[in-house]
Amino acid sequence: MAVNNRSGDDSRFYIDGRWHDRAHAASIAVVNPYSEEIIGHVAAGSSIDVDLAVAAARRAFETFSRSALDERLALLGRILALLEERAELFAQAIAAEMGAPIGFARAAHVPFALAHVRAQMEVLQRYRFLSVEDGIAIAKEPIGVCALITPWNWPLYQITAKVAPAIAAGCTIVLKPSELSPYSAQLFAQVMHDAGAPPGVFNLVGGTGEVVGAALAAHPDVDMISITGSTRAGVLVAQAAAVTVKRVVQELGGKSPNLFLDDADFEQGVAKGLLAGMRNAGQSCSAPTRMLVPASRLAQVEALAATAAAGITVGDPRDEKTSMGPIANAAQYARVQAMIASGMEEGARLVCGGPGRPAGLAQGYFVRPTVFSDVTPDMRVAREEIFGPVLVIMPYRDEAEAIAMANDTVYGLSASVQSGDPERARRAAAQLRAGQVHINYPAWTSHAPFGGYKRSGNGREYGVHGLEEYLETKAVLGY
């Protein structure tokens, strides 16, 4: 595969250390969400492809699971160096396949993906795989063959969040990237090859979740499956995996609250909250899309939110001035438009945005940055994950009601608290049922564990907690 290939037809899978052409297989069209044109095709994998990849990973596990830490560190270092060297190729691929603005792809998608590799190298350098106390040895050993299913919204970022800890642990991998944003995954497979990953340690099989994902989840020789996707997809994977009692790690949907206490910095915080909710065109499972504010500050918050939304530049993702590109695919675009219509039908008050494309954009899956206010907890826009640039503002009477509203969701992936009083913010954070809580917009780090409560999934990614998902615990008595 030429490393400068960002689109076009690519019918190959990477299995057992080499590329395999599947030109005879059924193909899947890849659509550019800006032009709405087909820019290429990729092969739709089958259960036979899965069997080949899993068998290669199983063979490789015998040796790779016993590899020295220095060998795995060196491999991760070569992967990191190649990702850095090819950063622009990845940014261009991501802009083409899922519509991320090129500036955002360069500033966030790619560097955050690199950070996961760097973090696992840091963890690996200090992690104790064997500890002994009172005659009991606790050994942490690689779990085995890992199937990794990644989504279309953060394609490279989610690949490295799974592949890096699996490699660090000594596991072998079969990756199924989203068929809707496959080019960055193809580029990543070439990185793994060029970095010298031993044959079978990393394998890539593209295709649909219904075929390839289901085959991986049910495969008796897969020891663990890690999926990032919708809650519906996570449930199907868990059901299929249950038969063989494999470990399932899920990072699923979210409807994250952003709680403004009455002493928050509204002038700065509302704009930051809106932009956080609409980052990546709102296509982030942890996006803080429910803004909970004191009823007495509602008019101020609406004005601040409208001003911030007006500052978003929606347009061609290739333009460096663009801050929001299109929704990544047609199905998701239709979903977002339907949810905006639902908000209007159920009586939410439209502050800005609304249905249809922004003015001046006649093509592409573009959505107007939309803010609803006077949203009540029973409305669909308050309860369902929209996965688009839609923010709902929900007024509350007192802090107790605010906490109850924040937790009134089937999800629990992320939450945010804004307050001028650190102790008060910590007390509120302690009451929020979410796997990650942000106080006053802290800097992102690849070491903070990420994962959800309730229907947002189970297990954790990133840092040492992400590594440990790929390890089994063995106790040796009388050591």
Question: What span, in angstroms and rounded, lies between the C-alpha atoms of 471 and 130?
Answer: 12
268 and 340 share one domain: yes
Indicate if 251 belongs to the active site: yes
26 and 104 share one domain: yes
- Given 97, 146, 179, 251, which residue is catalytic? 251
147 and 219 share one domain: yes
Is 362 within the bounds of a domain?
A: yes
Is 199 within the bounds of a domain?
A: yes
Question: What span, in angstroms and rounded, lies between the C-alpha atoms of 318 and 261?
Answer: 39
59 and 155 share one domain: yes
202 and 350 share one domain: no
Question: What span, in angstroms and rounded, lies between the C-alpha atoms of 329 and 152?
Answer: 9
Is 50 within the bounds of a domain?
A: yes
Is 450 within the bounds of a domain?
A: no
224 and 313 share one domain: no
Give me 412's structure tokens: 């629990």
Is 1 within the bounds of a domain?
A: no
Indicate if 285 belongs to the active site: yes
Is 6 within the bounds of a domain?
A: no
- Given 285, 352, 468, 469, which residue is catalytic? 285
Q: Are 263 and 424 in contact (CB under 8 A)?
A: yes
DSSP strand pairing (247-251 vs 224-228): parallel
The list of the chain residues with pLDDT below 50 reads 1-5
The number of folded domains in the chain is 2
| Whole-Å CA distances, 101 to 92, 95, 183, 195, 315 | 9, 6, 16, 28, 8
pLDDT at 7: 75
CATH number at residue 284: 3.40.309.10
190 and 306 share one domain: no
User: For the chain, what percentages of helix, strand and coil (3-state, to nearest 5) are there?
Assistant: 40, 20, 35
CATH number at residue 101: 3.40.605.10
pLDDT at 6: 59
209 and 321 share one domain: no
212 and 226 share one domain: yes
- C-alpha closest to that of 337 among 351, 313, 358: 358
DSSP state of 240: H
Q: What is the pLDDT of residues 156-209, one digit of tens each?
A: 999 999 999 999 999 999 999 999 999 999 999 999 999 999 999 999 999 999
pLDDT at 2: 42
Question: What span, in angstroms and rounded, lies between the C-alpha atoms of 252 and 455?
Answer: 7
328 and 228 share one domain: no
Q: What is the pLDDT of residues 309-359, one digit of tens each?
A: 999 999 999 999 999 999 999 999 999 999 999 999 999 999 999 999 999
390 and 469 share one domain: no
Domain that holds residue 462: 12-252+456-477
463 and 350 share one domain: no
The pTM assigned to this predicted structure is 0.97
Is 451 within the bounds of a domain?
A: no
Sign of CA dihedral 169, 175, 181, 183: positive
Is 209 within the bounds of a domain?
A: yes
Q: In what helix (H) or strand (E) does residue 227 lie, and over which residues does it extend?
A: strand 224-228
